[in-house]
Amino acid sequence: MKSLQPVRGTHDLLPDAFRRHRHVAGRAKAIAETYGFQELATPIFEFAEVFKRTLGDTSDVVSKEMYSFTDRGGEEITLRPEGTAGVCRAVISNGLRQSLPGKFFYDGPMFRYERPQKGRQRQFHQIGIELLGVEGPLADIEAIALGAHILKDLGILEKTTLELNTLGDQESRAAYRAVLVDYFTAHLADLSEDSRARLDRNPLRILDSKDEGDRRLVVGAPSFQEYLTPAARAFFATVTTGLDAIGIAFKLNPRLVRGLDYYCHSAFEFTTTELGAQGTVLGGGRYDGLIEMMGGPATPGVGWAAGIERLAMMVADVAPSVRPIAIVPLGEAAELAALKLTQELRHAGLAVDLGYSGNLGRRLKRADRMGARVAVILGDDELARGAAMVRDLDTGDQAEVELSALQDRLAQFR
């Protein structure tokens, strides 16, 4: 029955998968906190204008991929396709501009209507950071360093390559934009339909086109490096020198671009060959003009986002964070005693599972399936002696323990 299946491009996070998902988000948050980042959460839907302004009307996200609808009040609403716009909107609408610099970490679901692929669904999840209010290149270095630190902690940094480029300052971009428009105009007939639509509004996006015909033209396009101002060169030199100083390897990629005008200076991506066509696992850059474009004051910013699903596919197996204690009552008289004991142990801070039915063998098999560390067996004979049998499920050793001493004995399994 169709209605009993998840909608195409969505999937259920069952316990094993969710454990990996939570591990990625939890470790990222913990490491971000050591860099001074604070967690925030924005609504999963915003007024559509928030994303139309920030992503551009000609972008694929706005023109083809956004989940937008008109609500009962007649407002055009969009499920968030990315996190940066919502965070910047929150800074403006909550008056946080007065307390910048600000460091923000987020995680949560995003939504894009696109063809589902490995590691990319229509509902997906991201971790991300935004560092707002710092003009200098040290912010770019710190943002990249935090991303690398998280990937290293997850055990996957060595499986990635940091690709880095500079988008220059506004003067650099204006000069480059002019020569790029001239170059592609001369080859207008050979451009794809999407790239012809982008030529006037954001020609830099053509450099990132996936169309094979466009890519052949891009090879002969003028190089951005020739049009960088001295200030832009100095900014990028500080970034690369800083990354060298802290031991973060990178590869320069002059074709790594961001098409919208509020992007500037550093653009970076950690890429991998382990996920097929979906090679980017973490990407970001500097966006000094974004908050001003949204109606706020001029505010520098740099940030990145990473897909949790893609990261989770690359991490090693994650063991359960808690291995419970299994309470195994045998006999009618033991059921009530087991219920009481279970609650006492839980209130003492222990993770405890109480089997509901079955003989000793069945209950121990259940305990093994759930990864229990120890089993506490309560039978009529043990209860008559005021004791319980404690079995170590890793070693098979067992011993009788008085009920009055049980909490102390089990404390080592907390």
| Residue 126 annotated in ligand binding | yes
Which of 254, 258, 253 lies closest to 270, judged by CA? 253
Torsion sign over Cα 8, 13, 16, 19 = positive
Place of tokens 């690709």: 163
Which residues lie closer than 8 Å to 162 by C-beta, 6 or more apart? 144, 148, 243, 248, 249, 250, 251, 268, 269, 270
| Residue 84 annotated in ligand binding | yes
Residue 134 covered by a domain:
yes
Give the pLDDT of residue 130: 98
Asked if 299 and 361 sit in the same domain, the reply is: no
Asked if 251 and 399 sit in the same domain, the reply is: no
Asked if 307 and 362 sit in the same domain, the reply is: no
Which of 281, 349, 322, 275 lies closest to 19, judged by CA? 322
The span from the CA of 297 to the CA of 291, in Å, is 7
Give the pLDDT of residue 133: 96
Residue 180 covered by a domain:
no
What is the reported pTM? 0.89
| Residue 391 annotated in ligand binding | no
Question: Among 279, 314, 349, where does a domain finish?
Answer: 314
| Residue 183 annotated in ligand binding | no
Question: Among 314, 337, 362, where does a domain finish?
Answer: 314
Question: pLDDT tens digit string along 51-63?
Answer: 988 876 656 666 6
| Residue 382 annotated in ligand binding | no
Give the pLDDT of residue 278: 67
Asked if 27 and 64 sit in the same domain, the reply is: yes
Question: pLDDT tens digit string along 307-362?
Answer: 999 999 999 888 777 889 999 888 878 888 889 999 999 999 999 988 767 677 88
The span from the CA of 25 to the CA of 95, in Å, is 28
Question: What angle separates helix 15-34 from helix 138-153, to the nearest 10 degrees?
Answer: 140
Give the pLDDT of residue 1: 56
Give the pLDDT of residue 60: 67
List the CATH number of the domain containing 348: 3.40.50.800
Asked if 369 and 398 sit in the same domain, the reply is: yes
Give the pLDDT of residue 59: 65
Asked if 58 and 164 sit in the same domain, the reply is: yes
List the CATH number of the domain containing 47: 3.30.930.10
| Residue 176 annotated in ligand binding | no
Asked if 39 and 161 sit in the same domain, the reply is: yes
Residue 215 covered by a domain:
no
Asked if 162 and 265 sit in the same domain, the reply is: yes
Report, as ranges of residue numbers, the positions in the chain whose pLDDT lies below 70: 1-2, 56-63, 259, 277-278, 356, 358
Residue 222 covered by a domain:
no
Asked if 51 and 123 sit in the same domain, the reply is: yes
Give the pLDDT of residue 141: 98
Helix (H, G, I), strand (E, B) or coil at 352: strand
The span from the CA of 386 to the CA of 380, in Å, is 10
- The count of domains in the chain is 2
| Residue 112 annotated in ligand binding | yes
| Residue 70 annotated in ligand binding | no
Residue 174 covered by a domain:
no
Question: Among 262, 281, 314, where does a domain finish?
Answer: 314
The span from the CA of 167 to the CA of 215, in Å, is 19
Q: Which domain holds residue 388?
A: 325-413
Asked if 252 and 389 sit in the same domain, the reply is: no
Q: Give the residue ranges of DSSP H helices in 120-189.
A: 138-153, 170-185
| Residue 343 annotated in ligand binding | no
Residue 186 covered by a domain:
no
Asked if 305 and 334 sit in the same domain, the reply is: no
Residue 213 covered by a domain:
no
Residue 234 covered by a domain:
yes
Asked if 275 and 381 sit in the same domain, the reply is: no
Which residues lie closer than 8 Å to 150 by C-beta, 6 or more apart? 27, 28, 31, 32, 127, 282, 306
How large is the C-alpha radius of gyration of the chain?
28
